[in-house]
Amino acid sequence: MTDRSRGGPRAWSLLTLGEDRFFQGNEGYEDIVDEVYRYDTTVANYRAVQEGDTVVLRDKTRALGIARIERIEVTPGATKTRNLCPRCRTTNYVTRKVQRPRFHCRRPCNHSFDEPEQIQIPVTQFAAHYPNTWVSLDGGLSRTDLEDLALNRSQQQSMRELDRNALTAHLDRLSVTLPAAKTSSAEGRTRTRTRSRSRSISGGTRQRSVQERINQGPFRSALLERFGLVCAVTGPCPAEVLQAAHLRDFATHQTHVVDEGLLLRSDIHQLFDAGLLWIDPDDLTVRLSPRVAEHPQYCQYDYQVITVAALATDTTRAALRDRLAPGPEHVEPS
């Protein structure tokens, strides 16, 4: 028995393709990932998704964010372009990145071609809006996590139902709180952005030569999966302000070691890198330089135990000791 049959909302995993628009014989819709998801009557489960449902937006590798649908806008009488194999007139073909011709139809057709045949089909379009409830996950849920939560094994579906209770447990582990949805009664209410008049500051661009850390993104994603949306010093906070910090100087060893990393809020990370905030490896308390402790917004963290117990490992303690070896005021940036 589904949640809907018991009168409750359901949970869904929704595939958004970003710049990779060519998929399953059509070019899809342009989504504004943190505000609206668009689909139509050619998509499996289009009837089942309702206002108040929880949706996890994903790309091909990870979860981007989660929200509750506030309203669904319906546009009947629309058309959609469908791309077909010119020989068998099906969508059973793939796009090749290197080989030419660019497209190849699967067996038994086995035909290769440069451009698909295009036809227009009638559809009803839907736009699920959720601008006020969006919470960024930034990969805190992996593709494997989403597969485990799915109620069916059909990986080809762009809209897949998830186990709502299991999803809630995952969100609790990540310290994610999802705002309540304001459904139809809030139609038309969206986030407003106000702009104030101000003087102009000259800008432009210039060419720079910089070194980029390879795989810093996957390192951060691994920490998000491990610790959730939690700063080790300040506690739960939005993914947008969480940064991946190295306990050992990255410039020295050039390696991302998950057991030697932690998530810090951006301002806390800057203090950590500057040696103005550190973690005692013995009792795992946060310590502040006198230069920082005099500020009201930071003094509350002095001598506070870190918020993530997973840091209490021998590997982590060793890294914290090595970091403090020159003295906390002289730590190299991570």
In a domain, 89, yes or no: no
pLDDT at residue 127, rounded to an integer: 94
SS (H, E, C) the chain: CCCHHHCCCCEEEEECCCCCCCECCECCCCCECCCEEEEECCCCCCCCCCCCCEEEEECCCEEEEEEECCEEEEEEEEEEEEEECCCCCCCCEEECCCCCCCEEECCCCCCEECCCEEEEEEEEEEEEECCCCCEECCCCCEHHHHHHHECCCCCCCCEEEECHHHHHHHHHHCCCCCCCCCCHHHCCCCCCCCCCCCCCCCCCCCCCCCCCCCCHHHHHHHHHHHHCCEECCCEECCHHHEEEEECCCHHHHCCCCHHHEEEEEHHHHHHHHCCCEEECCCCCEEEECHHHHCCHHHHCCCCCECCCHHHCCHHHHHHHHHHHCCCHHHCCCC
In a domain, 107, yes or no: no
Tens digit of each residue's pLDDT, the chain (334 residues):
444 545 589 999 999 875 443 444 455 566 788 899 999 999 999 999 999 999 999 988 889 999 999 999 999 999 988 999 999 999 989 999 899 999 999 989 999 999 999 999 999 999 999 988 999 888 788 889 999 999 988 887 899 999 999 999 999 988 888 877 665 544 444 343 333 444 544 444 443 333 344 546 788 888 898 889 999 999 999 999 999 988 876 545 556 677 788 899 999 999 998 889 999 988 999 999 988 988 999 999 999 999 877 667 788 888 888 887 655 544 444 5
Phi-psi bin for 31: left (phi > 0), alpha (psi -120 to 50), beta? beta
pTM: 0.71
| Nearest by Cα to 165 from 181, 148, 153 | 148
pLDDT at residue 291, rounded to an integer: 84
In a domain, 115, yes or no: no
In this structure, the answer to whether residues 10 and 155 fall within a common structural domain is yes
SS (H, E, C) 38-75: EEECCCCCCCCCCCCCEEEEECCCEEEEEEECCEEEEE
Instruction: Give the CATH number of the domain where residue 16 resides.
Output: 3.10.590
In this structure, the answer to whether residues 237 and 181 fall within a common structural domain is no
Hey, CA dihedral for 309, 313, 317, 323, is it positive or negative? negative
CA 49/CA 181 separation, integer angstroms:
14
Phi-psi bin for 175: left (phi > 0), alpha (psi -120 to 50), beta? left
Q: Which residues contact 165 (CB under 8 A, 6 or more apart)?
A: none
In a domain, 51, yes or no: yes
In this structure, the answer to whether residues 147 and 242 fall within a common structural domain is no
In a domain, 109, yes or no: no
In this structure, the answer to whether residues 158 and 255 fall within a common structural domain is no
In this structure, the answer to whether residues 181 and 220 fall within a common structural domain is no
In this structure, the answer to whether residues 250 and 310 fall within a common structural domain is yes
In this structure, the answer to whether residues 9 and 154 fall within a common structural domain is yes
pLDDT at residue 255, rounded to an integer: 67
Select from 140, 168, 185 the last residue of a domain: 185
- Domain containing 222 equals 216-330
Domain count, the chain: 2
CA 241/CA 231 separation, integer angstroms:
9
In this structure, the answer to whether residues 155 and 20 fall within a common structural domain is yes
In this structure, the answer to whether residues 160 and 245 fall within a common structural domain is no
In a domain, 103, yes or no: no
Select from 139, 162, 185 the last residue of a domain: 185
In this structure, the answer to whether residues 176 and 324 fall within a common structural domain is no
Select from 185, 206, 225 the last residue of a domain: 185
In a domain, 258, yes or no: yes
In a domain, 93, yes or no: no
Amino acid at 135: V
In this structure, the answer to whether residues 288 and 225 fall within a common structural domain is yes
In this structure, the answer to whether residues 309 and 250 fall within a common structural domain is yes
